[in-house]
């Protein structure tokens, strides 16, 4: 868990960006996501306040957002498939909660050795040891291909989800157990970058979410430990759509927050679809045992005179 200054390059004649890798190389204590007008009620998933409907995402099922005991994020996109940031991979067990109750018991599922980095991107998939129970729901994800508009962006530089409001996920400014350290903020999608290598994470297709423009009431900026957390969109279906996972952020030359970047899943949806389907068809351990036992019974019976 770290902050890693990657490089400087000119934005304009007198301004520079510095890149911030949200989650790997240099050890540091994880920082909470910056959330404007932060309060436990509207922003913390497990705040258990007097008015749980105050949570800005209270209308949606959040059970598919999981975390490991060391604070790494895993979002469920199939009955036994999770997606995360390649540079901040979850290992061991993932803990999911069926609701937003602070006193609730989590569902613990192990991460198997079946994993897949999507091309040279910062997207990473893993198969869980077993299918999650029905109380835990997985997210649908974006499937629309996006190409980066020509820089600089003008009035005609349009792309899917441009200027759309989204929910950002990250660690809470409040004090929570690691596996319940989930907060939600908001922002609007500003830009889209394609095959971006500047953060050293591979060839990244990502949404850029500018910070400090007061675009939304709880405008947010990701920090150390937020990598892999989901970027979610209300598409009107009644469920949140997974658009991307947090990857990196940028600072101004003065070290102030500038923008968050989240790796978009839609450009790799075909491979993700295939992987989710293949892994969903893998028999669970108990099923394999039953099949073996059944096969043994057939063999024994076939030997009866």
Domain boundaries, the chain: 2-302
Q: In 139-284, which ranges are continuous DSSP H helix?
A: 269-280
Q: What is the mean pLDDT of residues 266-276?
A: 98
| 150 pLDDT tier (thresholds 50, 70, 90) | low
- CB 15: neighbour CB atoms within 10 A? 11
pLDDT tens-digit readout, 79-97: 999 999 999 999 999 999 9
Radius of gyration over every alpha carbon of the chain, rounded to an integer in angstroms: 21
pLDDT for res 20: 60
pLDDT for res 223: 94
User: How many angstroms separate the CA atoms of 167 and 162, rounded?
Assistant: 14
Please say if the pLDDT value at position 158 is more than 90: no
128 versus 20: the higher-pLDDT residue is 128
Please say if the pLDDT value at position 26 is more than 70: no
pLDDT for res 105: 94
CA 33 to chain centre: 14
pLDDT tens-digit readout, 174-210: 989 999 999 999 999 999 999 999 899 999 999 999 9
pLDDT tens-digit readout, 209-246: 999 988 899 999 999 899 999 999 999 999 999 999 99
Report in angstroms the alpha-carbon separations of 303 from 20, 294, 298: 67, 15, 9
106 versus 298: the higher-pLDDT residue is 106
Please say if the pLDDT value at position 299 is more than 90: no
pLDDT tens-digit readout, 32-63: 999 999 999 999 999 877 788 999 999 999 99
Name the CATH topology of 2-302. Thrombin, subunit H (2.40.10)
pLDDT tens-digit readout, 107-132: 999 999 999 999 999 999 999 999 99
209 versus 27: the higher-pLDDT residue is 209
């Amino acid at each position: 868990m770290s902050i890693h200054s990657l490089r400087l390059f000119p934005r304009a004649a007198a301004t520079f960006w510095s890149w911030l890798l949200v989650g790997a190389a240099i050890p540091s204590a994880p920082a909470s996501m910056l959330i404007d007008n932060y309060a436990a009620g509207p922003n913390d998933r497990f705040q258990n306040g007097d008015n749980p409907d105050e949570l800005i995402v209270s209308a949606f099922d959040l059970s598919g957002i999981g975390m490991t005991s060391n604070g790494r994020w895993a979002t469920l996109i199939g009955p036994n498939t999770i997606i995360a940031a390649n540079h901040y991979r979850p290992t061991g067990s993932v803990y999911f909660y069926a609701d937003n109750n602070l006193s609730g018991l989590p569902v613990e599922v192990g991460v198997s050795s079946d994993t897949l980095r999507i091309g040279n991107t910062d997207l990473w998939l893993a198969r869980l040891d077993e299918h999650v129970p029905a109380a835990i729901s997985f997210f649908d994800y974006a499937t629309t291909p996006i190409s980066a508009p020509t820089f600089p962006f003008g009035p005609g530089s349009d792309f899917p989800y441009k200027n759309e409001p989204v929910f950002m996920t990250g660690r809470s400014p409040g004090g929570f157990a690691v596996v319940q350290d989930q907060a939600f903020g908001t922002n609007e999608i500003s830009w889209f970058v394609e095959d971006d290598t500047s953060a050293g994470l591979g060839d990244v297709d990502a949404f850029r979410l500018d910070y400090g423009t007061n675009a939304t009431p709880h405008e947010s900026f990701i920090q150390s430990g937020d990598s892999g957390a989901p970027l979610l969109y209300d598409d009107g279906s009644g469920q949140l759509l997974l658009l991307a996972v947090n990857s990196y952020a940028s600072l101004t030359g003065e070290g102030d927050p500038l923008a968050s970047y989240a790796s978009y899943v839609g450009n790799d949806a075909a491979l993700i679809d295939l992987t989710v389907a293949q892994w969903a068809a893998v028999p669970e351990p108990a099923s394999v045992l039953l099949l073996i036992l059944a096969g043994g019974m057939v063999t024994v019976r076939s030997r009866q005179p």
